[in-house]
Amino acid sequence: MMNPHSQEEGREPGPEVEQQDVMMLHRRQRQCSRQAVQIAVSALVTAALWAGLLTLILLWHWETMQDLKQLGDTAVLNISQVSKDLERHKADQMAQKSQASQMLQNMEKIQAEQKRMKTQDSELSRNLDGLQEDLSNLKSQGLNERRTALDSLERLQEEVAKLWIELRISNGSMCNTCPEKWVNFQWKCYYFGESAKKWIQARYTCSSLQGRLVSIHNQEEQDFLAKHINEKGSWIGLRDLNIEGEFVWMDENPLDYSNWQTGEPNNGGEGEDCVMMLGSGKWNDAFCNSYLDGWICDQLATC
Ligand SMILES: [Ca+2]
Ligand SMILES: [Ca+2]
């Protein structure tokens, strides 16, 4: 089978064919020209776009730079202001520290002063206590001396009275006068109290009657009193209040006679320092705050 192209290649081209080729050539040239124009236009558009884009970028960059510059300036101003504020704050802090230090020093001074005043106050208080103690001792000493002097004076007066009575009796006078309700024996008068009293109450009652709790110095006197004694017991003027076991009569004379119950004085219980005469006439040391129904006073008779 024969190829048609090989048949055409074998023939010479006619004028129609050449004309067609020219037309095709022209058409191809127009097409090329149009493509070139399109490319040029595209290039121009692209260039314009890039130029616009670059312009925009440059504008944005310039504005950004301006903004950054403004921000930088503002930041510098702010930093400067903050720095100034910080410096001022530091200065304030230093001033406050200095003030606090001064206040601390003042406080320490005040505390030291308070401590010194406390010490001084304590010393003054001790001195005052010492002075008060000295004053109390002086008062006590004065009172003791006054009491001793009064006791001595009272004893002297009693001795004088006794001597006076003895003198009057030796001269034949009768010295046996007693107040009403008092009982005479020898040269003394006796009052037999009959109401419940403690020893100290009995003592002051006798004083109010111008007498004192009875002092007994011999057997005759004891026998006389035993005849009139309250059966429940009576306080007498004997006690060991100051020195335990050292009994003293109210007339300050020594214990030259005694009539103790067997086993007495025993200073029993919490201490027995006041003496009572039992119903039997015997003596017993008893608790001074006990109440007894009887108590005996004595005083010198008058002539
Ligand atoms: Ca006693
Ligand atoms: Ca006793």
What would the pLDDT profile of 214-270 be if each residue is shown by its tens digit?
999 999 999 999 999 888 999 999 999 989 999 999 988 889 999 999 999 999 998
Q: With the CA atoms of 244, 247, 248 and 249 taken in that order, what torsion angle do they form, in degrees rounded to the nearest 10?
A: 140
Q: Cα separation of 169 and 39, whole Å? A: 183
Report the b/e string of 267-276 with b at 16+ CB within 10 A: eeeeebbbbb
In a domain, 59, yes or no: no
- Kindly state the DSSP code that residue 42 receives in the 8-state scheme: H
Q: Which ligand is nearest to the CA of 240?
A: 1
The alpha carbon of 242 and the centre of ligand 1 are apart by a number of angstroms equal to: 9
The alpha carbon of 167 and the centre of ligand 2 are apart by a number of angstroms equal to: 40
- Domain harbouring 262, CATH code: 3.10.100.10
Q: Is 205 helix (H, G, I), strand (E, B) or coil?
A: helix
In a domain, 248, yes or no: yes
Q: With the CA atoms of 27, 29, 30 and 33 taken in that order, what torsion angle do they form, in degrees rounded to the nearest 10?
A: 160
In a domain, 140, yes or no: no
In a domain, 47, yes or no: no
In a domain, 246, yes or no: yes
In a domain, 242, yes or no: yes
Q: Which ligand is nearest to the CA of 276?
A: 2
Q: Cα separation of 132 and 143, whole Å? A: 16
Number of residues that this document lists for the chain: 303
Q: Return the beta strands (E) in the chain as ranges.
A: 183-185, 188-193, 212-213, 234-239, 248-249, 274-277, 283-286, 294-300
The tokens describing 151, both together, are 């006791």
The alpha carbon of 270 and the centre of ligand 2 are apart by a number of angstroms equal to: 11
The alpha carbon of 224 and the centre of ligand 2 are apart by a number of angstroms equal to: 23
The alpha carbon of 193 and the centre of ligand 2 are apart by a number of angstroms equal to: 22
The alpha carbon of 276 and the centre of ligand 1 are apart by a number of angstroms equal to: 12
On whether the CB atoms of residues 180 and 189 are closer than 8 A, the answer is: no
The alpha carbon of 273 and the centre of ligand 2 are apart by a number of angstroms equal to: 9
Q: Which ligand is nearest to the CA of 269?
A: 2
Q: Which ligand is nearest to the CA of 288?
A: 1
- Kindly state the DSSP code that residue 186 receives in the 8-state scheme: T
Domain count within the chain: 1
In a domain, 223, yes or no: yes
Q: List, for residues 264-290, the tens digit of each pLDDT value.
A: 999 999 899 999 999 999 999 999 999
The alpha carbon of 264 and the centre of ligand 2 are apart by a number of angstroms equal to: 5
Q: Which ligand is nearest to the CA of 241?
A: 1
| pLDDT value of residue 87 | 92
- Kindly state the DSSP code that residue 242 receives in the 8-state scheme: S
Q: Which ligand is nearest to the CA of 271?
A: 1
Domain that holds residue 245: 176-300
pTM, 2 dp? 0.53
| pLDDT value of residue 14 | 62
- Residuewise pLDDT in 10s, the chain (303 residues): 334 444 444 445 566 767 888 888 888 888 878 888 888 888 888 888 888 888 888 888 888 888 888 888 888 888 889 889 889 989 999 999 999 999 999 999 999 999 999 999 899 889 889 889 989 988 988 898 998 888 788 888 888 888 888 888 888 888 889 999 999 999 899 999 999 999 999 999 999 999 999 999 999 999 999 999 888 999 999 999 989 999 999 988 889 999 999 999 999 998 999 999 999 999 999 999 999 999 999 999 988
In a domain, 129, yes or no: no
The alpha carbon of 183 and the centre of ligand 2 are apart by a number of angstroms equal to: 29
